[in-house]
Amino acid sequence: MDGILAVWKPAGWTSHDVVAKVRGITRVKRIGHAGTLDPQVTGVLPLCIGRATRVVEYLQERPKAYEAVLQLGIATDTEDMTGTPVEEVDKVSVTREEVEAALAAFIGEIDQVPPMFSALKVDGKRLYELAREGVTVERKSRKVHIYSIRLLEFVQDERRPRIRFDVECSKGTYIRTLCVDIGKRLNVPATMAELTRTMSGGLTREHCYTIEQIAALQQEGQLQSQLLPSDVALSHMAKLVTDSASAVIALQGRKLPAHRVKGLAELAPEGPARLYDEDGRFLGVFEWDQSLNLLKPVKVFN
């Protein structure tokens, strides 16, 4: 069994729980996921099965999209509603226009400080392990990119408004921290109340199956036919084509000269591309070596 399976992760499950369950259903050990989701978060979790595990790194690098609910008026130690309140205010007064302006301020490249309750490692230990021990360590800020952010709903109650928004962002963006930072821009404590991942690696809810559906498809012998091919993870890369004789050479892990490859004009000087033969068969990931004037293999899919 080989291919990409998009799972709609339920609340209360870790990403590892989902992988373990699908391993049990399929009896396939070689399964990897493309981006961890916290237990309370639902949404798109791509699984790479069999030889498709070789494209996990490319899936992980692609943008992700989320729908989040931000609660104003309260801040917690975990930056979400599962944590202990560390700051509260009785009443928050903000307008829809102020909220929209605050969201817009985060579009583009921003600095984020990873939260203490995260899986990031410091000196070999995960931050959330240190946080549970009551230890706080200094974390370096890092650059992330917010490609778009949009207000979906502004619920203005008498005490504490809620903001529902969607966001498309780069790998490594903490939406919990984004919620806290939006609150800071509004000068009020804030925390993330809900989160759903709506897109990962170009895959959306429409591509996803629930755990129950996966089990049923496997029992019916239909699951393999529903898996997406490995090169779906690479659709953001330039596409190159070579002739059938050169395809044999490429599948042997050998380099190809420029005159054997179509599409090089659209290829960036650096960066990987996906290579196909003239019949549309995916051959692997290759990159152009300008110094040698050759296309060299990165990962061959024989």
Looking at the annotation, which residues are catalytic?
38
Category of 43 on φ-ψ map: left (φ > 0), alpha (ψ -120 to 50) or beta:
left
DSSP state of 202: T
DSSP symbols for 130-186: HHHTT-------EEEEEEEEEEEEEE--SS--EEEEEEEE-TT--HHHHHHHHHHHT
Quick one: which of 195, 162, 177 has its CA closest to 79? Answer: 177
Quick one: which of 237, 251, 254, 240 has its CA closest to 294? Answer: 254
* Lookup: tokens for 197: 């991942």
Torsion angle of alpha carbons 80, 84, 89, 94, nearest 10°? 0
Look at residue 211 and give its three-state secondary structure.
helix
DSSP state of 293: T
CA Rg value for the chain: 22
DSSP symbols for 225-281: HHSBPGGGGGTTSEEEEE-HHHHHHHHTT--EEGGGEE-GGGS-SSSEEEEEETT--
* Lookup: tokens for 184: 């800071």
Neighbours of 24 (CB within 10 A): 10
